[in-house]
Amino acid sequence: MLSEKNDYSHVYWIGGSPCSGKSTIAEKLAKDYSCTYYQCDLFNEKHVTKCHPSEHPTMSRLKDMSWNALWSRPVEQQVEEELEFYREEFGMIMDDVSALPNTSPTIVEGAALLPEKVEHLVPSPHHAIWIVPVPAFQKEHYAKREWIHEILESCDDPGAAFRNWMDRDIGFARYVAKDAMDRGFKVIFVDGSRSVQENYEEVRRHFML
């Protein structure tokens, strides 16, 4: 399990909300600076499989819900349970990160990285950043993701499910952006006025790479 004595000064954290370009930026940083890249989303299924009701009650409850049930819940409940899900998953993420080699910089990226968890692991605010889309940008670009349509078609009311999905992500983005700023971290708001390359350069400068 995660030890407070571990040194994570070689780790750079990119959190935020979906559809903000953070994965693209993380991949480019890893390539340009020969970093180890840990993408939280790729390990989510493994973590869900390993979760135990006594330690991970929210993860255990949500993992067996249908898409229709997930997106039919009140949006406020969805936001709170997403935050709890990530709080419960964080220990598993850190077990993975702790097992990675520390001989080169490591980029850890994902929505699962909550400011309240990362705050205690960084040597300075320059080792973490959060990237979130503004609501209009998120809705426009998320709708273009082909894989979401199969999920929505399994719901009783696809239109309502999509609205709830977007409202959940908007609520989540609002929460993590405010929490990150309250804790002294930098936040990039993506509205389409700047290119991914420009946002990449801002992240690179912030990390002082």
Q: How confident is the model at residue 2 (pLDDT cuts 50, 70, 90)?
A: very low
**What are the residue boundaries of the structural domains of the chain, listed by start?**
11-207
Pairing of strands 186-190, 106-109: unpaired
Which tens digits make up the pLDDT trace of 129-179? 999 999 999 988 888 888 898 999 999 999 999 999 999 999 999 999 999
Which tens digits make up the pLDDT trace of 94-109? 999 999 999 999 999 9
Strand partners, 13: 108, 128
**How is domain 11-207 classified at the CATH fold level?**
Rossmann fold (3.40.50)
Q: How confident is the model at residue 5 (pLDDT cuts 50, 70, 90)?
A: low
Tokens 């708001």 found at: 189
Residue 4: pLDDT over 70? no
